[in-house]
Amino acid sequence: DSSKATAEQIIAGVKVIREELLKALTNTGVRIIAPKPNDEFQPGQHEAIMQQAMDGVAKGNVAMLFQPGYALGERIIRPAKVGVAP
């Protein structure tokens, strides 16, 4: 039956919806908090969920991002969940 969607079509549809949602959030002032490796750990914006050594990352800096966070203006809606270099 040609009316059934393939897995690739469903994934593509979900990606389009995700992009539109992120665009709508950005237009209302929501920003994504997604620190990169070796960015300074900021307790108000980041939540350390583990310590992880990583080459090229200074002690106390972000080693990896597990889940991005969100902010609306200066208010943190959800902090980014990160691993921090010991």
pLDDT digits over 33-72, tens only? 999 999 999 999 999 999 988 999 999 999 999 999 999 9
For residue 4, the 8-state DSSP code is: S
Quote the tokens at residue 72: 């609306």
CA distance 21 to 41: 28
DSSP letter for each residue of 61-81: BEEEEEE-EEEETTEEEEPEE
pLDDT at 86 over 80: yes
Its pTM stands at: 0.73
Q: What are phi and psi of 21, to 5 degrees?
A: -65, -45
How many percent of the chain have pLDDT more than 70? 98
